[in-house]
Amino acid sequence: MIGPSFPGVLRAAQDGDETAFAELWRDAQPVLLRYLHVLSGPGFAEDVASDTWLHVVRGLAGFRGDERAWRGWLVTVARRRAVDAGRLRQRTPTVPWEPGDEPPPAPAAETLVLTALDTRAALDLVARLPRQQAEAVVLRVVAGLEPRQVAELLGTSPGAVRVAVHRGLRRLAQELAQEQGGQAL
């Protein structure tokens, strides 16, 4: 976190100071990439982060709030960009075809499952959690957002966020213990 100098850094960035914007970027980019890695998958996190920063630049002048609000706003923009990118990937055929040709066949269910399993194997430990738990853990623990902010992002209650984080962390501890041949905590 930037800390007490955040209001000045934000104002300078909003006024077009590239050094101040670079400070915001350096502070937030690692957390943003970890979040998007869980949300979008390892192959898409950097592209979604780039798109996120483009939207942040466009809306930065209108942002008002403290550092926690800034992080919440940034993650909200990133989440929307990730959802849009995911929708685009689903709509975009993987096999190029010309108008008039038959559209490519939809992949078989077995292929979809195997692809999902391959993707899951590539994700880090947090990404093994159910999406709601993974997002809650990353936003709460990694990004440092308050339960209220996470609840707004995920469309749930702060209590549900606390439960998802607790269950997610517990499940991570159990999986880690199993991988290491030990007992769950």
Report pLDDT digits (tens) over 101-140: 665 555 555 444 444 443 343 346 777 888 888 888 888 8
Of the spans 77-91, 106-120, 166-180, which averages the highest pLDDT?
A: 77-91
More confident residue, 58 or 138: 58
**If you average pLDDT over residues 50-63, what whole number do you get?**
91
pLDDT score of 179: 66
CATH number of the domain located at residue range(s) 1-99 in this protein: 1.10.1740.10
Share of the chain above pLDDT 90, in %: 30
Q: Which two tokens stand for residue 125?
A: 């430990």
Helix residue ranges, H only, the chain: 6-14, 18-40, 45-59, 67-91, 109-122, 131-137, 147-154, 158-179
Under the phi-then-psi rule, with left for phi > 0, alpha for psi from -120 to 50, and beta for the rest, what region is 78? alpha
Alpha carbons 15 and 35: distance in angstroms, whole number: 28
Task: Return the amino acid letter for 43.
Answer: G
> Residue 117 has what pLDDT?
42
Classify residue 12 as exposed, middle or buried by CB count within 10 Å of its CB (0-12, 13-18, 19+).
middle
Mean pLDDT of the chain: 80
The single-letter code of the amino acid at 118 is: D
Tokens 């942040």 -> residue: 56
Q: Which of 83, 22, 23 is nearest to 52 (CA)?
A: 83
Q: Is the pLDDT confidence value at 11 over 90?
A: yes
Angle 46-52-53 (CA atoms, 0-180°, nearest 5)?
A: 95
pLDDT (mean) for 73-84: 90
**Helix pair angle (45-59, 67-91), 10° resolution:** 130
pLDDT category at 59 given cuts 50, 70, 90 is: very high
The helix/strand/coil state of 99 is: strand
Contact of 123 with 41, CB cutoff 8 Å: yes
Average confidence (pLDDT) over 176-182:
65
- The answer to whether residue 9 scores a pLDDT higher than 90 is yes
Q: Which of 24-28, 59-63, 96-100, 117-121 has the lowest mean pLDDT?
A: 117-121
Topology adopted by domain 109-185: Arc Repressor Mutant, subunit A (1.10.10)
| Max Cα-Cα span within the chain | 61
pLDDT value, residue 104: 55
Domain boundaries of the chain, sorted by first residue: 1-99, 109-185
Q: What is the pLDDT of residue 143?
A: 75
